[in-house]
């Protein structure tokens, strides 16, 4: 098992977000958490990545409990697409290339052709690279975010509502690129198109 | 002949101001007072309080400095500099939108003090080469000017760094989730804080002399120095101010980062006022 959440309790102030929540994610599996907004789907990613600490319970990665001392090495294995898509500043090219400057980056800065091919797969023109990231539409930003996550080539992808701003054709392309690959993907979604194509669904209820 | 003329021209005694003459100066406040009152700005009370505070604070400092100048003891001068740094430390946090937390008070104090020590050592001992260590006539006004500017830059820099981080928290977390170390993920926030805090000093360096005559230079000319000596000192003080401000903002962010962040790389939310 690659990632496991065990008996997670978490609340914001008096609002209970998770009560005794558990899940398991196997290597290569595409698991989707389905639920309406407010059911804590995005919070789960923040808990897994250690940005929030659960009140009870623990997360295990490859059998080891995630704690402050191994959190940093765990984050080197992940690529996360946050829901608000605030993932960089400057031109689209700078946003895509920024994570490859990190010392931990296991892959080289992608070659221009690799980026161009992926842009093409995502139905985006190469000229978008010179545009300011903040000027893009939500759908364009979402595709650039996913593209960046794919290029990082990490063993675990955490995707928060990856299809929320995509048209039908882009969704088909994305599903083909990600769900038919060998990647391990944990995603949240309430889009039937995406949910139906994942290997397993966990229904999240608002508590 | 020319030399003696030169000496005579710049060796003039300053016209001493009597308390009565200074009191006449206060009459000028009737003009802004009337304008602010006519337009119901609600600032008249604030103007009166600010004027009283300014006068009392400067009189207090004036009396104290007379004492310090008379004794001119390096330890006493150092103590005065330390007091100025402590006041600047609390004023920095007070004027920013951050709370007075130990995790900010000590790092900003350390950064400002270390910055001032480096600037004072370089400019007072290496450039000017004072006759005695921390000679009051030079050390006190130069430290004061650099410190005043460090205070302004630190407020801008620290505030921008932590609030930009708060407003773009998901971007910071995206970098961390992509495997960045804390300092790698903070790099763009650091970059913007430095830009924001350096800009006012750079703008004033670019227009100095053309738009305004700076206070230190004006003071020196009024007290009888030649304009060229005053300008040499002014150039030196601008260099000291710019180096000092960048150094103290840099150190304040570096030092505070060590105390403000938890082990999971998240900043302590209790530092924020809003």
- Asked if B177 and A84 come within 8 Å (Cβ–Cβ), the reply is no
pLDDT tens track for A133-187: 999 999 999 999 999 999 998 989 999 999 998 999 989 999 999 999 899 999 9
Per-residue pLDDT band for B1 (boundaries 50, 70, 90) equals very low
- Asked if A80 and B178 come within 8 Å (Cβ–Cβ), the reply is yes
pLDDT tens track for B235-260: 999 999 999 999 999 999 999 999 99
| Contact between A88 and A129 (Cβ < 8 Å) | no
- Asked if B178 and A101 come within 8 Å (Cβ–Cβ), the reply is no
- Asked if A87 and B181 come within 8 Å (Cβ–Cβ), the reply is no
- Asked if B168 and A75 come within 8 Å (Cβ–Cβ), the reply is no
Site from A99, A144, A156 to mutate, B interface, most B CB atoms within 10 angstroms: A99
Q: Name which of B168, B170, B178 is nearest A102 (Cβ-Cβ).
A: B178
Q: Quick check: ipTM above 0.90?
A: yes
Residues B221 and B10: their CA atoms lie apart, in Å, by 9
- Asked if B184 and A76 come within 8 Å (Cβ–Cβ), the reply is no
pLDDT tens track for B31-65: 999 999 999 999 999 999 999 999 999 999 899 88
Chain B residues with CB-CB distance to A146 below 8 A: none
CA distance from start to end of chain A: 28
**Residues of B at the A interface, defined by Cβ within 8 angstroms:** 168, 170-171, 173-181, 184, 188, 263-266
Chain B residue with minimum CA distance to A45: B177
What stretches in chain A show pLDDT beneath 50? none
Residues A160 and A153: their CA atoms lie apart, in Å, by 17
| Contact between A58 and A39 (Cβ < 8 Å) | no
CA distance A127 to chain B (A): 24
Determine if the pTM surpasses 0.95: no
Q: What pLDDT, on the 0 to 100 scale, is given for residue B8?
A: 46
Q: In this complex, is the C-beta atom of A155 within 8 Å of any C-beta atom belonging to chain B?
A: no
Over 90: is that where the pLDDT of B143 sits? yes
Give the per-residue SS3 of chain A: CCEEEEEEEEEECCEEEEEEEEEEECCCCEEEEECCCCCCHHHHHHHHCCCCCCCEEEEEECCEECCHHHHHHHHCCEEEECCCCCCCCCEHHHHHHHHHHCCCCCCCCCCHHHHHHHHHHCCCCHHHHHCEHHHCCHHHHHHHHHHHHHHHCCCEEEEECCCCCCCHHHHHHHHHHHCCCCCEEEEEECCHHHHHHCCEEEECCCC
- Asked if A103 and B184 come within 8 Å (Cβ–Cβ), the reply is yes
Chain A residue with minimum CA distance to B186: A102
């Amino acid at each position: 098992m690659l990632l496991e959440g065990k008996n997670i309790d978490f609340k914001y102030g008096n609002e209970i977000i998770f009560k005794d929540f558990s899940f398991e994610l196997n290597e290569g599996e595409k698991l989707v958490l389905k639920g309406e907004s407010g059911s804590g789907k995005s919070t789960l990613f923040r808990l897994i990545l250690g940005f929030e600490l659960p009140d009870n319970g623990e997360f295990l990665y490859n059998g080891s409990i995630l704690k402050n001392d191994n959190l940093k090495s765990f984050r080197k294995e992940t690529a996360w697409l946050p829901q608000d898509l605030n993932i960089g500043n400057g031109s689209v090219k700078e946003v895509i290339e920024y994570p490859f400057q990190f010392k931990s980056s296991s892959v080289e800065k992608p070659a221009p052709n690799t980026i161009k091919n992926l842009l093409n797969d995502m139905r985006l023109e190469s000229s978008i690279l010179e545009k300011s990231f903040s000027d893009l539409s939500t759908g364009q930003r979402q595709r650039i975010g996913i593209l960046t996550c794919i290029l990082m080539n990490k063993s675990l992808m955490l995707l928060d509502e990856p299809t929320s701003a995509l048209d039908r054709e882009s969704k088909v392309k994305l599903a083909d690129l990600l769900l038919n690959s060998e990647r391990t993907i944990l995603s949240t979604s309430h889009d039937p198109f995406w949910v139906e194509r994942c290997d397993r669904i966990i229904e999240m209820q608002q508590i | 002949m020319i030399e003696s003329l030169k000496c005579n021209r710049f060796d003039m005694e300053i016209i001493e101001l009597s308390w009565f003459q200074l009191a006449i100066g206060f009459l000028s406040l009737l003009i802004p007072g009337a304008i602010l009152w006519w337009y119901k700005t609600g600032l008249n009370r604030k103007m009166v309080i600010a004027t009283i505070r300014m006068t009392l604070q400067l009189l207090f400092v004036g009396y104290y400095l007379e004492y310090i100048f008379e004794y001119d003891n390096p330890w006493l001068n150092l103590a005065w500099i330390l007091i100025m740094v402590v006041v600047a430390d609390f004023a920095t946090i007070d004027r920013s939108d951050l709370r007075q937390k130990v995790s900010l008070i000590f790092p900003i104090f350390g950064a400002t003090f270390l910055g001032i020590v480096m600037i004072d050592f370089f400019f007072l001992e290496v450039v000017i080469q004072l006759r005695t260590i921390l000679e009051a006539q030079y050390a006190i006004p130069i430290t004061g000017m650099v410190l005043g500017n460090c205070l302004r830059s630190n407020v801008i820099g620290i505030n921008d760094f932590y609030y930009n981080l708060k407003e773009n928290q998901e971007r910071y977390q995206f970098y961390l989730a992509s495997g960045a170390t804390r300092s790698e993920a903070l790099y763009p926030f650091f970059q913007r804080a430095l830009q924001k805090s350096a800009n006012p000093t750079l703008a004033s360096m670019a227009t100095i002399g053309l738009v305004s005559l700076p206070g230190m230079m004006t003071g020196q000319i009024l007290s009888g120095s030649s304009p060229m000596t005053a300008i040499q000192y002014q150039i030196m003080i601008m260099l000291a101010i710019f180096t000092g401000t960048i150094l103290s903002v840099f150190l304040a962010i570096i030092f505070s980062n060590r105390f403000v962040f938890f082990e999971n790389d998240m900043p302590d939310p209790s530092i924020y006022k809003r």
